[in-house]
Amino acid sequence: MPYIWEVSGSKPLVRKYAALIYLFSGLLIGGLLGRFFPEKMLLFKPVGDIYLAILLIAVIPLIFFTVSSALANPGLPLKTGRLLTIIISVFTGTVLLAATLTILTLHFFPITLDLSGTNLAALIHQSARASQPTAASLPGLIIGNTVPVLLIISILIGIAARRSGAAGRFLRTSSEKIKQWLKVIIKFAPLGLGIYFACQIAATGPRLISAYTHICTVGYGISLLYYVLAFSAYAFIAGGSATLARYWKNNLAPSITAFSTCSSLATLPTNLDAAEKMGIPANISKIVIPLGATLHKEGSAIITIVGLSLLGSGFTSWDACAVALLVASLVSLIEGSIPNGGYTGQLLIMSAYHLPSELWPILMIISTLLDPVATLLNVSGTTASSLMIARLLRNR
């Protein structure tokens, strides 16, 4: 997943934990400054606003060049037969199941926040009263919003450029340049997001800290329950108690790496090694694990549903649930295929639900706080899915 900083000259252990340490330190220091020096921190609000504006501008070309260049890659197999069909079915099914279980959990245990009298409460109330998309409005949801249209255009251009070697090379080169540009911007994320968080605390008071704490408690609680129960069930279905034991015996190292680095790609070597020890055939794991690192994000789907619940998007009808599941699936897809995709995922939510632009930083901070456990689910879910895919292939 997102938020990777390069620390030149550091020891490997420091580099491994640098992203998590820097980002959470920035938010923690910002929260403390906003709590004890509210008037002074509000003077720095333009700095946080400028950083968020730069980040938003960078996300748009990032989506276009990353998606289109990936599809323009001549090494990407477009015809992989039965294996691809099974992979898509398992990946889609597990992501939808994760999102559905989260919706059911939040229906019985809803998130309740006391933010009365604050600007955040007004924004959430405004988003709750906004026109919520339904299944009948899905064509308009796609056509009338920037991000879905941009994704469609990127896909079409990528497929077309695949037939032209020169165009494909241009897209891939541009994609790498955009990624380097974004890396420079992301290096200032602890400062930019820290200042924004400080201004939020200064304007809202201690209740905002309580709200974020409550959201993290709910998000981590649901995620860890899914981590233990769902993945145990997948492993047991794939091969009984013996496979279940092998799964948990060898899933510890990838889990620790994922939680500490917040990066599915950084965990890829460890996950491939664990898959071999779990007994997954190499011809399956070497395809499924790398694909899962970019396209299979159960944790992202769960965090998306938690965020939608916070912003007043109730799941009181089948239409509302169907759209929430679709948005969660799309977010899980683009967050994996785009570096620092947590930001683009939140932008998709904003676009799909017509939310006030002021809520985008709120979603970003929530995504940042829940990023470690989301990556934990994304990585562990890929190996659990690989076990089921191997089982399905053996049965055919």
Rounded average pLDDT over 205-232: 84
Quick check: 395 pLDDT over 50? yes
Quick check: 195 pLDDT over 80? yes
Quick check: 121 pLDDT over 70? no
Quick check: 269 pLDDT over 60? yes
pLDDT attached to residue 342: 63
Give the whole-angstrom CA distance, residue 249 versus residue 253.
Answer: 9
Share of the chain above pLDDT 90, in %: 14
Rounded average pLDDT over 188-206: 76
Rounded average pLDDT over 248-264: 81
Rounded average pLDDT over 299-308: 86
Query: Using 50, 70 and 90 to split pLDDT, how confident is the model at 128?
Result: very low
Q: What are phi and psi of 395, to 5 degrees?
A: -80, -5
User: Is 17 part of any domain?
Assistant: yes
Contact 28, 209 (CB under 8 A): no
Quick check: 50 pLDDT over 70? yes
Q: What are phi and psi of 7, to 5 degrees?
A: -115, 95
| Amino acid type, 149 | V
User: Is 51 part of any domain?
Assistant: yes
Quick check: 333 pLDDT over 50? yes
312: exposed, middle or buried (C-beta count within 10 Å: 0-12, 13-18, 19+)? middle
Query: Using 50, 70 and 90 to split pLDDT, how confident is the model at 245?
Result: very high
Give, in degrees to the nearest 5, the angle at Cα 170 between 334 and 166.
Answer: 125
pLDDT attached to residue 98: 93
Q: Which residues of 82-116 are buried (b: 16+ CB within 10 A; e: fewer)?
A: ebeebbeebbeebbbebbbbbbebbeeeebebebe
Give the whole-angstrom CA distance, residue 87 versus residue 285.
Answer: 11
32 lies in which domain range?
12-394
User: Is 143 part of any domain?
Assistant: yes
Residue among 24, 23, 371, 36 at smallest CA distance from 201: 36
Query: Using 50, 70 and 90 to split pLDDT, how confident is the model at 196?
Result: confident
pLDDT attached to residue 116: 52
pLDDT attached to residue 120: 53
Quick check: 154 pLDDT over 80? no
User: Is 4 part of any domain?
Assistant: no
pLDDT attached to residue 194: 82
pLDDT for 345-393, tens place per residue? 777 777 777 776 667 777 777 777 888 888 899 999 999 999 999 888 8
pLDDT attached to residue 3: 39
Mean pLDDT lowest among 8-12, 182-186, 201-205, 286-290? 8-12
Quick check: 111 pLDDT over 80? no
Domain count, the chain: 1
Quick check: 253 pLDDT over 90? no
- Report residue 310 as tokens: 């916070």
Quick check: 280 pLDDT over 70? yes
Quick check: 137 pLDDT over 50? no
User: Is 67 part of any domain?
Assistant: yes
Mean pLDDT lowest among 44-58, 66-80, 243-257, 339-353? 66-80
Average pLDDT, the chain: 75
Residue among 169, 156, 174, 183 at smallest CA distance from 66: 174
Give the whole-angstrom CA distance, residue 190 versus residue 198.
Answer: 12
pLDDT attached to residue 341: 58
Question: Among the ranges 58-62, 172-176, 249-253, which has the highest mean pLDDT value?
Answer: 249-253
CATH classification of the domain holding 38: 1.10.3860
Quick check: 140 pLDDT over 70? no
Rounded average pLDDT over 77-82: 54
Contact 243, 390 (CB under 8 A): no
User: Is 5 part of any domain?
Assistant: no
Give the whole-angstrom CA distance, residue 278 versus residue 291.
Answer: 18
Q: Could you tell me where the DSSP H helices lie in the chain?
A: 12-36, 38-42, 45-72, 81-108, 119-129, 138-143, 146-161, 165-186, 189-204, 206-250, 252-261, 268-277, 282-295, 298-310, 318-337, 341-353, 360-394
pLDDT attached to residue 248: 93
Give the whole-angstrom CA distance, residue 269 versus residue 300.
Answer: 21
User: Is 390 part of any domain?
Assistant: yes
pLDDT attached to residue 370: 85
pLDDT attached to residue 141: 43
Rounded average pLDDT over 154-166: 73
> DSSP string of 107-144?
HHS------TTSHHHHHHHHHHHS----GGGHHHHHHT
Share of the chain above pLDDT 70, in %: 70
pLDDT attached to residue 332: 80
Residue among 395, 369, 390 at smallest CA distance from 20: 369
- Report residue 365 as tokens: 């901070």
Quick check: 189 pLDDT over 90? no
Give the whole-angstrom CA distance, residue 104 versus residue 222.
Answer: 11
Quick check: 144 pLDDT over 90? no
